[in-house]
């Protein structure tokens, strides 16, 4: 039997329940996939940069607008 939404009963969950499940699945994958030293260093660098420049951000709305503009060219 193959794994599918239906075979696991996931299709019967509400959207909210499926979102919770996705989050739990993602966390379980992340926990079992350790970061390399280079990945950890990059995350530390980005966090330090954000803490030093907390106002240097782009809103989600700006990101969406930029993507939409690029796709509509």
| Digit-coded pLDDT (tens) for 12-67 | 999 999 999 999 999 999 889 889 999 999 999 999 999 999 999 999 999 999 99
Other beta carbons within 10 Å of 4: 9
Rounded-to-integer distance, Cα 14 and Cα 28, Å: 21
Per-residue model confidence (pLDDT) at position 2: 87
Q: Can you tell me whether residue 44 is helix, strand or coil?
A: helix
Does the pLDDT of residue 1 top 90, yes or no? no
Rounded to whole angstroms, how far apart are CA atoms 7 and 11? Answer: 9
* Residue 38 burial class via C-beta count within 10 angstroms: exposed 0-12, middle 13-18, buried 19 and up: exposed
What is the pLDDT at residue 21?
96
Residue at token pair 């700006």? 62
């Amino acid at each position: 039997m193959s794994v599918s939404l239906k075979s696991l009963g996931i299709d019967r969950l509400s959207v909210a329940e499926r979102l919770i499940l996705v989050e739990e699945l993602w966390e379980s994958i992340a926990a079992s996939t350790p970061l390399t030293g280079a990945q950890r260093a990059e995350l530390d660098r980005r966090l330090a940069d954000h803490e030093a420049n907390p106002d240097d951000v782009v809103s989600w709305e700006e990101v969406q607008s930029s993507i939409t503009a690029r796709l509509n060219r």
